[in-house]
């Protein structure tokens, strides 16, 4: 019998590129850029363009609603900023506030998260109730606390002096410079501890229960479990909570503004910035202040991420 040779049909091998056509990787990269372009455009418009405009404005003498045009003056706004005592004082106030509130919120938030992580009846209700301070708008809460701390008709003084007799006379909590920062820090801690607690609670729930069982079998005390199991495994959540809270604390405006207005000894960086741009209509100088605040916050974030770098196991 003679063999019939059937010519094999030409099947194109998968992956073999045609001459001159882009590779799959390149095609996928182009598709990725195409799909990302809408969000990149939004980020460009909303974040990058105002940033560039602020940098440009900080090099001029622009003023709000002024008939004279802005002049280019180079770095003289920044030079004036270096000698501005009020600005440095506001940086000091903001940093003090940030240190007090972030550490206070972290400690309290961790304590509350550990508490609420345990099993007990009514846990769902407690978790919901604990978020109420965070849910109230800051301006309203600040005004409410301002009335509560009033030195003549405030509830706090009434409670401490008239009802409990802890203090001999009414204290002007907001007016006295020694208590003012503590008071506003307390208000901020009251308001944002639930937020930190929530972030840490989420981190706590990821830690497997078996680790604690093994530790208990090995005879570890509760404190040893906390320090050697909980805290190290909680590091990513701690980093997130600290970065969020530090950024918010460095940019604080509403609580201070409602309670103190433009008082010089309780002025934060953001209030000084707002006063310069809005009350004084000095946009050029205000833009320089904005850039310096941006740099300060950037440095803090980089420091955090470097110090708390989460290494892969």
Partner 1 sequence: MGRRIGRRAFLAGLGALSGAWAAGCRRRAAISRAPLPPGASPAPTPPPAVEPPPVPNAAQAQRYQGVQLTYYGDSVGIGAELDQQLGARFTQDTGIAVRVIPRPQSASEAYATYLRFFQARSAAIDVLLIDIIWPGAFAPHLLDLRPFCAGEIDQFYPALIANNTVADRLVALPWFADVGLLYYRVDLLERYGFAAPPATWEELEVQARRIVAGERAANPVFTGYVFQGNAYEGLTCNALEWLASVGGGRILERGRVTIANPAAAAILDQARGWVGLIAPRGVTTYQEDDARNVFQAGNAAFMRNWPYAYALAAGPASRVAGRFGVAPLPAAPGQPRVGTAGGQQLAVCQYSRAPEAAVELVRYLTSAPVQVYRALRGSFLPTRPAVAADPRVLAAEPFLGPLQAVERVTRPARDAGARYNQVSTAFFQGVNQVLNGADAVQLLPRVARRIERALA
Cβ proximity to partner 1: between 95 and 172 the closer is 172
Rounded Cα gap, residues 114 and 166, in angstroms: 32
Q: Binding partner 1 by CB under 8 A: which of 73, 91, 95, 151?
A: 151
Residue 155 Cβ vs partner 1, minimum distance, rounded to whole Å: 13
C-beta of residue 90 within 8 angstroms of C-beta of residue 267: yes
Residue 259 Cβ vs partner 1, minimum distance, rounded to whole Å: 8
Rounded to whole angstroms, the maximal C-alpha distance in the chain is: 122
Residue 109 Cβ vs partner 1, minimum distance, rounded to whole Å: 27
Q: Binding partner 1 by CB under 8 A: which of 22, 50, 92, 177?
A: 177
Question: Between residue 269 and residue 288, which ones bind partner 1 under the rule CB under 8 A?
Answer: 275, 278-282
Cβ proximity to partner 1: between 238 and 259 the closer is 259
Cβ proximity to partner 1: between 135 and 162 the closer is 162
Rounded Cα gap, residues 187 and 191, in angstroms: 6
Give, in degrees to the nearest 5, the angle at Cα 15 between 11 and 17.
95
C-beta of residue 255 within 8 angstroms of C-beta of residue 239: no
Residue 279 Cβ vs partner 1, minimum distance, rounded to whole Å: 5
Cβ-based burial of 266 (10 A; exposed 0-12, middle 13-18, buried ≥19): buried
C-beta of residue 240 within 8 angstroms of C-beta of residue 199: yes
Distance, first Cα to last Cα, the chain: 69
166 binds partner 1 (CB under 8 A): no
175 binds partner 1 (CB under 8 A): yes
Residue 275 Cβ vs partner 1, minimum distance, rounded to whole Å: 7
- Which residues make beta-bridge pairs with 60? 72
Site string for partner 1, 30-69 (x = CB under 8 A): ---------------------------------xxxxx--
Question: Between residue 229 and residue 268, which ones bind partner 1 under the rule CB under 8 A?
Answer: 260-265
- Which residues make beta-bridge pairs with 72? 60
Footprint on this chain of partner 1 (rule: CB under 8 A):
63-67, 150-153, 161-162, 169-172, 174-177, 260-265, 275, 278-282
């Amino acid at each position: 019998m003679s063999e019939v040779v059937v010519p094999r049909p030409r099947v194109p091998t998968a992956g073999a590129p045609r001459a001159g056509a882009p590779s799959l990787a390149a095609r996928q990269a182009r598709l990725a850029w195409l799909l990302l372009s809408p969000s990149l455009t939004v980020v460009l418009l909303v974040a990058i363009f105002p940033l560039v405009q602020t940098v440009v404005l900080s090099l001029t003498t622009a003023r709000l609603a002024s008939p004279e045009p802005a002049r280019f003056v180079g770095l003289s706004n920044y030079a004036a900023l270096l000698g501005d005592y009020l600005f440095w004082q506001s940086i000091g106030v903001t940093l003090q506030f940030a240190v007090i509130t972030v550490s206070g919120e972290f400690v309290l938030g961790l304590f509350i998260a550990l508490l609420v992580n345990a099993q007990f009846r009514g846990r769902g209700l407690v978790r919901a109730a604990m978020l109420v301070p965070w849910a109230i708008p800051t301006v309203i809460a600040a005004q409410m606390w301002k009335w509560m701390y009033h030195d003549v008709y405030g509830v706090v003084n009434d409670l401490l002096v008239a009802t409990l007799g802890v203090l001999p006379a009414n204290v002007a909590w907001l007016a006295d410079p020694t208590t003012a920062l503590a008071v506003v820090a307390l208000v901020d801690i009251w308001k944002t501890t639930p937020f930190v607690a929530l972030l840490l609670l989420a981190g706590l729930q990821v830690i497997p229960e078996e680790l604690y069982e093994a530790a208990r079998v090995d005879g570890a005390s509760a404190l040893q479990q906390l320090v050697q199991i909980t805290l190290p495994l909680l590091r990513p959540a701690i980093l997130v909570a600290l970065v969020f809270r530090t950024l918010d604390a460095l940019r604080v405006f509403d609580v201070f503004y409602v309670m103190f207005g433009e008082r010089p000894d309780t002025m934060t960086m953001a209030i000084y910035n707002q006063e310069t741009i809005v009350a004084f209509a000095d946009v050029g100088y205000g833009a320089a202040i904005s850039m310096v605040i941006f740099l300060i916050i950037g440095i803090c974030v980089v420091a955090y991420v470097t110090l708390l770098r989460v290494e892969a196991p």
